[in-house]
């Protein structure tokens, strides 16, 4: 199987062209390909497949082989992949996902690094829950389910990335599998608000574990910071793997802009 490996703010993916189907994927195969010791290694696997309602369809799988409806960093990498390989024409196109059709704009295109803007849609209304073990949890759905926890109250200015990462390692898996979020489970974002236009975010991803970044997580964290901490309509989200910019339209639509980077190309046996 021919593949390309891309990363978006440290979230890495294997991408392949299945516009002319050459077999199917199963969970064991994807787990093997994404294994960092015995496979190529990645946070997720993405295939470009034909769409009846958009320019192309994104089939996305977590590194554990489970299917996911949407991935923010993944769709930026997917957009660069299909643009670079001529699967789509032009810098504005549509991508069908399991979360509906997403509108893509290629802001800057280059051989290795491109800048991609994605219309992420409108998140579900936030729900507030109080947990004896974890404090206040804000939850929403933006392509996939997300929980947001602020580091110390809603307007903490002191929480560092190292502290957020530590909380993600300590509590992320427990919250993912907490009864409150079953049977789906949830992605978990630990957030510190630095100003009304800048937040830090560390994410534990459902199906992948602790990652360097999460696009839908960045958008959910920014939406929560806008709602709960008085942040503005354009928010810079810093994650361990890099930054994206999240902005909001008057109707609540979320736009995410950030890099997509080609790491390498290769071929592996099926």
Determine contact, residues 60/201, Cβ cutoff 8 Å: no
Q: Which helix (H) or strand (E) holds 257?
A: strand 254-267
Q: Two tokens at 235?
A: 């928010």
Q: Which helix (H) or strand (E) holds 202?
A: strand 198-205
Cis peptide, bond prior to residue 245, ω within 30 of zero: no
Residue 53: active-site member: no
Which residue out of 4, 34, 77, 214 is catalytically annotated? 214
DSSP 8-state assignment for residue 38: T
Which residue out of 71, 201, 219, 228 is catalytically annotated? 71
Q: By C-alpha distance, which of 65, 74, 15, 67 is closest to 216?
A: 74
Nearest-angstrom CA–CA distance, 249 and 269: 45
Residue 71: active-site member: yes
Task: Put residue 185 in one of left, alpha, beta given phi > 0 → left and psi -120 to 50 → alpha.
Answer: left
* Secondary structure string (H, E, C) spanning 55-103: CEEEEEEECCCCEECCCHHHHHHHHHHHHHCCCCCCCEEEEEECCEEEE
Task: Put residue 252 in one of left, alpha, beta given phi > 0 → left and psi -120 to 50 → alpha.
Answer: left
Determine contact, residues 212/204, Cβ cutoff 8 Å: no
Question: Which positions are annotated as active-site residues?
Answer: 71, 214
């Amino acid at each position: 199987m021919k593949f390309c490996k891309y990363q978006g703010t440290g979230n890495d993916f294997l991408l392949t062209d299945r516009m002319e189907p050459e077999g199917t994927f199963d969970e064991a195969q994807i787990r093997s390909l994404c294994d960092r010791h015995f496979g190529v290694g990645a946070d997720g696997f993405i295939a470009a497949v034909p769409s009846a309602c958009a320019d192309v369809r994104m089939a996305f799988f977590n590194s554990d082989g489970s299917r996911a409806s949407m991935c923010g960093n993944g769709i930026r990498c997917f957009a660069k992949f299909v643009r670079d390989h001529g699967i789509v024409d032009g810098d504005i196109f549509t991508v069908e996902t399991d979360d509906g059709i997403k509108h893509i704009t290629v802001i800057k295109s280059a051989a290795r690094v491109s800048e991609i803007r994605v219309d992420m849609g409108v998140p579900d209304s936030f729900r507030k829950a109080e947990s004896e073990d974890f404090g206040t949890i804000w939850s929403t759905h933006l392509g996939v389910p997300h929980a947001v926890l602020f580091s110390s109250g809603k307007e903490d200015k002191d929480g560092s990335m190292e502290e957020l990462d530590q909380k993600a390692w300590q509590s992320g898996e427990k919250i993912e599998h907490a009864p409150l979020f079953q049977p789906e489970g949830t992605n978990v974002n630990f957030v510190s608000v630095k100003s009304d236009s800048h937040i830090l975010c560390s994410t534990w991803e459902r199906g992948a574990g602790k990652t360097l970044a999460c696009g839908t997580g960045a958008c959910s964290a920014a939406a929560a910071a806008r709602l709960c901490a008085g942040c503005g309509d354009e928010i810079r989200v810093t994650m361990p793997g890099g930054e994206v910019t999240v902005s909001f339209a008057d109707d609540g639509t979320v736009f995410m802009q950030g890099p997509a980077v080609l790491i390498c190309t290769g071929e592996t046996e099926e």
